[in-house]
Structure 1
Amino acid sequence: MRPALLRGLPAALLTVLSLTTGTPAHAAETVPLAEAVASLPLATESRDGYTREAFKHWNSGDDPADGCTARNEVLITEAVAPPTVGPRCQLIGGTWWSYYDQTMVTSASGLDIDHMVPLAEAWDSGASARTAQRREAYANDQGQEVSLVAVTARSNRSKADQDPAHWMPPAGDVHCRYAAEPARGGPPGTTTSGPNWSRGAVDDGPATGSLAWCAASMHRSRHRGHR
C-alpha cells in the first residue's frame, strides 16, 4: 500500500498555479507550484491482484473498419513520415521520433506504444474496481493526446511500470515534458486524475523534483527576460 493522488496536478509548467477556491465561482487563489502539489489530498494505492491481462490490448482501435489495431492507429498518427498501410494494416516504411531518447526510428517493429501512465499505476489508482470494459478503454485510449505514445522498445521496457519517482526518460531535455504530461488528465477507469505522478515528480523523482525544477527554471528565465 502506498500514497496516491486523488487529484492530479494541471499540466502547466508554470511557476504558480491558479486553484479555484470555494468563494465566487470565478475567483482563484494563486499559490506556488510546490505548495499546490503538497496540498493535494492522498489516498492509498494497492497493486493486489494486478495483472496486465486485466487490461485488454490491443483492440480494434477507434475505427474498427480500418482493419488496424489501436497500436497501429497510434503508429500511423504519430509517424513523422507516414508509412504505407498494406493489407491487414501492415505498416511498410515510415519514420517516427521517439522523444524519450531523442531517436529517429525507421521501422514500426522497433517501437513500443507506451501507456504514459502505466497499467499498473492505473490499477493502483482505482482501475482495479472498474469493469473489464473500462480497463480496456484505458489500455486503448486515443482520446487524450498523451495517453499513448510511440517510443523505442528499449526505452519503454526500461521504464516498465515505474512512475517518475523511479524512472525518467534517458534524454534529460524532455524530463519537464514527461513529468507534466500525465497530469493533464487521468486515465478512464481510475478514481484519480494523475495517479502518483505529480507528487513523485515534485518530491523525489530521479530528476530531483522535476516539476519543481522545471517551474524554477521557467521562473529564472522569466526574470532574466525582464531585465
Structure 2
Amino acid sequence: MRLPRALGATVAVVSTLAVLLTPTAAHAAPGDTVTLPVRDALTALAVQNEDRTGYERTKYRHWIDADRDGCNTRAEVLLEEALIAPEQGTNCRLTGGSWYSPYDDTSFTQARALDIDHLVPLAESWDSGASTWTAAQRQAYANDLDDPRALIAVSAASNRSKSDQDPATWQPPADGYRCTYATDWVAIKTRWGLTVDPTEQAALTDVLDTCPNTPITVTLAR
C-alpha cells in the first residue's frame, strides 16, 4: 500500500536520522551496536600483517560455565544449535539429539561427533590483535555466547581440517555455506576490533564479491 505523501516524507526523515545516529564501526565504542553492509564492514577493518609471537592456546581459558548452571560453553552451544534437543543428564551430560554441521553439509545424532569451532580461531585472533588483550578479554572471546556467530557446532573432521587457518587458505567444503562463512567472519572481526592481513582481505573480497551485500549488525565487545 502506498503511504500518504506526508507520512512517507516523515518515514524517510526518520530512516535518514536512524542511519545518521547509528555509530560507524570506526567511531563506535564498546557496547555500541553498528549495522553496515558486509563489504563496507570488510573495508572498515584495519589491514595489518599478522604476528603470532607469544601465542599459546592456554592463554584463552575455555570452556567455562559463565552462568553456573552446570553446562559449560561447549554444552551451551550444543543445546542452542540442536535441531532435536538432547536430554540433559548429570553435569550436563547430553544424550540423544541431532545437529547439522554447515561446514560440510553433514548431520549428526551424537554430540561427541561434534567440535565447537571458534569461527575466527583463537590463534587467528591473537595474530589480529588479541595479543594485547587482558586474560579476561581473551576468556570472553573464547567463550562468546553473546553473538551466535562466534561459536559453531561442526563436525570434528571439518574443524580439524580448518584448524587455525583463515579464509585465504581454508574455505568450508560445502560451497553453499561460503557466503555465510565470509560474512560471519567479517562480523566477528568487527565485533572484536580485530585486523585482517592483506591475503585474508583479498580472499574475503573475492568471496563476498559473489555474495549478496548483506547488512551485518554487531555489538562491539570489550
Q: TM-score range by the shorter chain?
A: 0.7 to 0.9
Larger RCO (CA under 8 A, 6+ residues apart): 2
Does 2:55 align with 1:50? Answer: yes
Q: 1:90 to 1:198 in 2, by over 3 A?
A: farther
CA–CA separation in structure 1 for the residues paired with 2:74 and 2:168: 27
1:82-121 correspondence to structure 2 within 5 Å: 82-121=85-124
| Deviation of 1:200 (Å) | 2.3
Identity of aligned residues (%): 44
Q: How many residues align?
A: 183
Cα deviation code 1:94-138 (max 9, x no counterpart): 100111111111000000000011101111121111111110111
- Select which of 64, 73, 80 maps to 2:83: 80
Does 2:206 align with 1:209? Answer: yes
1:1-227 correspondence to structure 2 within 5 Å: 25=20, 37=42, 41-61=46-66, 63-64=67-68, 66-186=69-189, 191-192=193-194, 195-196=195-196, 200=200, 203-204=202-203, 209-215=206-212
CA–CA separation in structure 1 for the residues paired with 2:145 and 2:103: 19
CA–CA separation in structure 1 for the residues paired with 2:46 and 2:55: 24
CA–CA separation in structure 2 for the residues paired with 1:143 and 1:35: 23
Q: What is the identity, as a one-letter code, of the residue corresponding to 1:118?
A: P
- Unpaired segments of 5 or more residues in structure 1? 1-23, 219-227
Q: What secondary structure, in the 3-state scheme, does the structure 2 residue paired with 1:114 have?
A: strand
Q: Which runs of 4+ in 1 moved over 2 A?
A: 24-28, 32-45, 185-188, 195-201
Partner of 1:223: none
Q: What TM-score results when the alignment is normalised by the length of structure 2?
A: 0.72
Q: CA RMSD in A?
A: 3.0
